Amino acid sequence: MTDVLVIGGGNAALCAALMAREAGASVLLLEAAPRAWRGGNSSHTRNLRCMHDAPQDVLVDAYPEEEFWQDLLRVTGGLTDEKLARLVIRASATCRPWMVRHGVRFQPSLSGALHTARTNAFFMGGGKALVNAYYRSAERLGVQIRYEAPVDRLDILGGEFRAAYVNGERIEARACVLAAGGFESNRAWLREAWGQNARGEWPADNFLIRGTKFNQGVLIKHMQEQGADMIGDPTQSHCVAIDARAPLYDGGICTRIDCVSLGVVVNNRGERFYDEGEDFWPKRYAIWGRLVAQQPGQIGYAIIDSKAIGRFMPPVFPGVQADSLPELARKLGLPEQTFMATLTAYNAACRVGTFDHTALDDCRTEGLSPAKTHWALPLDTGPYYGYALRPGITFTYLGLKVNAQSAVHFGGVPSANLYVAGEMMAGNVLGQGYTAGVGMSIGTAFGRIAGTEAARAALQLKKTERERAAA
């Protein structure tokens, strides 16, 4: 019998497996995906949000605990467990040397990744390189890894884990870590959660999935049925406005449209619906998927002019280009008259001060609703560009309630040997909203905690077994 069973194959699962193995436990990791698709959504990540009190290699200046906490508080609107959130924040300050020991390498913030050099440490080679480094380290340390091993149910008795089932095979372990991701790839569940809107639409039918197709939420639903304490709203997620031409699955970060703050966004009626200049893009980019999801047809259009070129990370697909705004409206299939009324009103409302896309500048609109509060420049310099946007779901926030030891709870009582990390418990910290890199912070912090606690529980049980056998 293995000591610690880890279910999942992304960042949180790997952190748990490595920590459990370092603690002296035998470890078996079950990844639902084939080897070529291993790593879950972690393969699509780029960085880790890090607290630090002074400059550190790739991180500039300081990003103290209280500022990190305020950033998180702001984007979640208070829907966060402060104790667990601060645990994540503090853990982010100390995890990088451990990551480096396991082969992860960091690089300075990319030139197109604005405003993150102080707050976020970027992985050299991105998330895929991080995942591969962890797998190499796990294999070197003797972690057993099985691919194409989806777990569909658990044997739980009195809140304690006994075994997991893979295609009918019963796999026993002394302790278990659940890190199998959310349910963002389960389109039927998304449809059920979001329901039908007042226009008679089923919004989730138009959602695209930014990451892996293997996160079906099977174990989340199973744990619900087993009476585990749950947390989070099934409609809340890391939901980003991405290029409408992105594939249904695994489009990743390159499909994100980063020029929203430099222009305007309209719906399919040609009307604006939110403040594009609310805050820096890394803090507020994840609100736009949900905003687009609330628009008719679940589609929006980011509109920029030539002045924006070079000021944002270019997306993988080129925008629709036109020499005039009316021509752009026609090419995008938008009602030209309404579109032009919207753009004319916006251009007239711009009060241009000192434009600076790297700071919360004083370029704003006046007498316009919704206002654009920063970076408001008239769109008056051709050629003009438009990008159709769809909601892109990264991961969902419905998950299992935990404590500081990452234990799964049943009726308010923490399990003695069942733990959870990553997307399956992120809703404890992220009730809504998102800020760049915090998902990896949560997964790394709680993955390491879960692995440590699972090893402790397993080794204690093994000791008890030996004592009984010797008696």
For residue 290, give the CATH number of its domain. 3.90.700.10
Out of 392, 408, 435, a domain closes at: 392
Q: Average pLDDT, whole number, for the chain?
A: 96
Q: Looking at the structure, do residues 99 and 74 belong to the same domain, yes or no?
A: yes
String of DSSP letters for 386-431: EEEEEEEEEEE--EE---TT-EEEETTEEEEEEEE-GGGTGGGT-S
Q: Looking at the structure, do residues 370 and 419 belong to the same domain, yes or no?
A: no
Q: pLDDT-based confidence at 33, cuts 50/70/90?
A: very high
Q: pLDDT-based confidence at 117, cuts 50/70/90?
A: confident
pLDDT in tens, 88-100: 999 999 999 999 9
CA distance 116 to 118: 5
Q: Looking at the structure, do residues 385 and 409 belong to the same domain, yes or no?
A: no
pLDDT in tens, 286-296: 899 999 999 99
Residues 6+ apart with CB under 8 A from 297: 201, 206, 267, 268
Out of 337, 369, 392, a domain closes at: 392
Which structural domain, as residue segments, surrounds residue 323?
238-392
What is the model's pLDDT at position 106? Answer: 96
What is the model's pLDDT at position 280? Answer: 84
Q: Looking at the structure, do residues 85 and 223 belong to the same domain, yes or no?
A: yes
Q: Looking at the structure, do residues 253 and 286 belong to the same domain, yes or no?
A: yes
Q: pLDDT-based confidence at 78, cuts 50/70/90?
A: very high
What is the model's pLDDT at position 471? Answer: 84
Per-residue buried b or exposed e for 298-307, using 16+ beta carbons within 10 Å of the residue's own CB:
bbbbbbbbee
Query: Do the beta carbons of residue 255 and residue 316 sit within 8 Å?
Result: yes
Q: Looking at the structure, do residues 250 and 162 belong to the same domain, yes or no?
A: no
Q: pLDDT-based confidence at 110, cuts 50/70/90?
A: low
Total tally of structural domains belonging to the chain: 2
Query: Do the beta carbons of residue 183 and residue 176 sit within 8 Å?
Result: no
Query: Do the beta carbons of residue 305 and residue 385 sit within 8 Å?
Result: yes
Which residues is 232 bridged to in the sheet?
A: none
Average pLDDT rounded to a whole number, residues 248-270? 95
Q: pLDDT-based confidence at 115, cuts 50/70/90?
A: low
Does 191 reside within a domain? no
First to last CA, the chain: 21
Q: Looking at the structure, do residues 319 and 430 belong to the same domain, yes or no?
A: no
Does 114 reside within a domain? yes
Residue 152: CATH number of its domain? 3.50.50.60
Residues 6+ apart with CB under 8 A from 157: none
Q: Looking at the structure, do residues 327 and 356 belong to the same domain, yes or no?
A: yes
Using the predicted structure, report yes or no on whether residue 376 has a pLDDT greater than 70: yes
Percentage of the chain lying above the pLDDT 70 cut: 99
Q: Looking at the structure, do residues 340 and 372 belong to the same domain, yes or no?
A: yes
What is the model's pLDDT at position 286? Answer: 87
Please classify residue 66 by burial: count the beta carbons closer than 10 Å to its beta carbon, then call 0-12 exposed, 13-18 middle and 19+ buried. Answer: exposed
Does 176 reside within a domain? yes
pLDDT in tens, 382-414: 999 999 999 999 999 999 999 999 999 999 999
Does 201 reside within a domain? no
What is the model's pLDDT at position 116? Answer: 81
Does 210 reside within a domain? no
Does 460 reside within a domain? yes
Does 189 reside within a domain? no
Q: Tell me the pTM.
A: 0.94
Out of 392, 427, 449, a domain closes at: 392
Average pLDDT rounded to a whole number, residues 299-314? 95
Does 200 reside within a domain? no
What is the model's pLDDT at position 185? Answer: 97
Q: Looking at the structure, do residues 162 and 276 belong to the same domain, yes or no?
A: no
- Give residue for tokens 């991405």: 242
- Average the pLDDT over each of 14-18, 57-61, 186-190 and give the range with the smallest value: 57-61
Q: Looking at the structure, do residues 153 and 63 belong to the same domain, yes or no?
A: yes
Using the predicted structure, report yes or no on whether residue 213 has a pLDDT greater than 80: yes
3-state class (DSSP) for residue 172: strand
Average pLDDT rounded to a whole number, residues 19-28? 98
Q: Looking at the structure, do residues 121 and 102 belong to the same domain, yes or no?
A: yes
